[in-house]
Amino acid sequence: MSFRVDVWEGGRIALFSLRSNRMRTVLTTVGIGVGVCTLLAIVGIIQGINKSFDDQLSQIGANTLQISKFPWTMGGNWWEYRNRKDLTADLVGPIVAASPHVVAAAPIYFDRVEGRFLDRKINSVMLVGTTADYSTVSSFVVDSGRFLTDADVDARTPVAVIGAELVRTLFPGLNPLGHRILLGDKPYRVVGTLEPKGTILGENQDLVVMLPYRTFLSHFGKNHPPNIAVSVDSADHVLDVQDALTPVLRRERNTPPEDPDDFAINRPEQLANMYKQLTGALYGAATGVGLITLLVGGIGIMNIMLVSVRERTREIGVRRALGARKRTIILQFLMEASSVSALGGTIGTLAGLGLAYTISMITPLAAAVQPLTVAFGVGFAAMVGLLFGIWPAARAANLDPVEALRHE
């Protein structure tokens, strides 16, 4: 009961003191608010970028593998990987037969061309030569028409499935199905369109055209070694499939037993690990800047509270002479410090959220703040107030009542 009374009286006196020194309260609140605003804005942008990366990575698929000459994490051995023997589409059959967990596999040939229809054109179109199984191993979904077929591949049919960006740019207000577009200087009949996908890892997935891979090779040459995408029935079996594919690929590529693998089996989680390595130090430094700013605000609270103790020395002496315990004085000043800090934290949190979303609207940086982060911002600010208010509160409680009463 006594503690409850101390809290009630301490809170009432703290609020009265804050109201009596409005300018000091405002300045202290601004100081801690700037710190919380900076920290929340940085955390919000970091969380947004992480969420955006996770969303893009999920579109690649946790149950897929990409077989290539080059590993996704190359280090400094580019020339070594560059001199490896190219992959070929003939590997698809042995890959599918390597494990019962392999659902499908498809070769992927890449090139960049200009796309044209009538007097409209679009540059840097990503050209993909592949098979019908690519619809299984990728996250592309047909919006209208159809996807490529095995018959298209076998007959080298000049047909194309186009992305949403080409539909918007080359066929505004038109149904592109049945029309012919020029890719480079070759005409292709549009047989399907793809649903919009947006950007994945900096690559516009809507600026894409898919061709039967044999048509691709006959029209654009054979100097484009493929990657091979593999779909696994479950993410739990990805490592098992990787282990099964390694000896099959070595055998099919006639790799001598004493030589290392001359291919790379890449998994999406490798991109995630590389992302964490690249951004971990940057995010740590950015968060450190925010914490330093908050520390400066905490030091400001300590300074203001020390000034307050000095100004109210006589008041403290009177209260101590009338029987107020040290605990009561400590609670009063701690509540005063935490109240100012919590108010600044609330204002700083709102400002930080607004700043994070404003940055996300005017720059490519994403912003996404979780509800727990908001609660953490206010709570952490209050804790800063408590922490930096301990010394001033202890000084106030330890004043000698007689000496305090003599203070002018």
- Please give the chain's pLDDT, 408 residues, in tens: 455 555 555 556 556 665 666 666 676 777 777 777 777 777 777 777 777 777 666 666 668 888 888 887 766 677 777 888 888 889 999 999 999 999 999 999 999 999 999 889 998 899 999 999 998 888 888 999 999 999 999 999 999 999 999 999 999 989 999 999 999 888 999 999 999 987 766 678 889 999 999 999 988 876 778 899 998 888 888 889 989 999 999 998 888 888 888 888 888 777 777 777 777 777 777 777 777 777 777 777 777 777 766 766 676 667 666 666 777 777 777 777 777 777 777 787 778 777 777 777 776 666 666 677 677 767 777 777 777 777 776 776 676 665 655 555
Would you call 279 helix, strand, or coil by DSSP?
A: helix
> What per-residue confidence (pLDDT) applies to 81?
77
Same domain, 148 and 231: yes
Same domain, 219 and 306: no
Helices 22-60, 2-20: inter-axial angle, 10-degree rounding? 100
The single residue listed with the structure tokens 């970028």 is 49
Same domain, 294 and 321: yes
Cβ neighbours of residue 207 under 8 Å, at least 6 residues apart? 122, 124, 125, 126, 163, 165, 166
Q: Between the CA of residue 7 and those of 11, 12, 18, 345, what are the distances in Å?
A: 6, 8, 16, 21
Cβ neighbours of residue 48 under 8 Å, at least 6 residues apart? 356, 360, 365, 366, 367, 368, 369
Nearest to 139 by CA among 236, 61, 209: 61
- Domain-ending residue, one of 231, 262, 293: 262
Distance CA 268, CA 392 (A): 53
Same domain, 237 and 347: no
Distance CA 282, CA 284 (A): 5
116 assigned to some structural domain:
yes
> What per-residue confidence (pLDDT) applies to 1?
45
395 assigned to some structural domain:
yes
- Domain-ending residue, one of 262, 288, 320: 262
Q: Which domain holds residue 354?
A: 2-56+273-406
Q: Between the CA of residue 91 and those of 184, 227, 234, 240, 248, what are the distances in Å?
A: 29, 10, 22, 19, 9
Distance CA 40, CA 369 (A): 8
252 assigned to some structural domain:
yes
Same domain, 321 and 385: yes
> What per-residue confidence (pLDDT) applies to 4?
57
343 assigned to some structural domain:
yes
Burial class, 218, CB count within 10 angstroms (exposed 0-12 / middle 13-18 / buried 19+): middle
Same domain, 109 and 257: yes
Contact 275, 202 (CB under 8 A): no
Number of folded domains in the chain?
2
What's the alpha-carbon Rg for the chain, to the nearest Å?
Answer: 33
Distance CA 277, CA 259 (A): 30
Paired strand residues for 180: 189
Same domain, 223 and 140: yes
70 assigned to some structural domain:
no
- Domain-ending residue, one of 208, 243, 262: 262
Same domain, 320 and 245: no
Contact 183, 125 (CB under 8 A): yes
346 assigned to some structural domain:
yes
> What per-residue confidence (pLDDT) applies to 168?
93
78 assigned to some structural domain:
no
Same domain, 198 and 347: no
Same domain, 252 and 291: no
Q: How far is CA 254 from the centre of its chain?
A: 41
Q: What is the pTM of this model?
A: 0.65
Helices 326-362, 371-397: inter-axial angle, 10-degree rounding? 150
185 assigned to some structural domain:
yes
Same domain, 310 and 241: no
Same domain, 303 and 373: yes
> What per-residue confidence (pLDDT) applies to 3?
52
Q: How far is CA 62 from the centre of its chain?
A: 17
Instruction: List for the chain the helix, strand, coil content (%; round to 5).
Output: 60, 15, 25
Give DSSP secondary structure letters for 350-400. Answer: HHHHHHHHHHHHHSS------HHHHHHHHHHHHHHHHHHHHHHHHHHHTS-
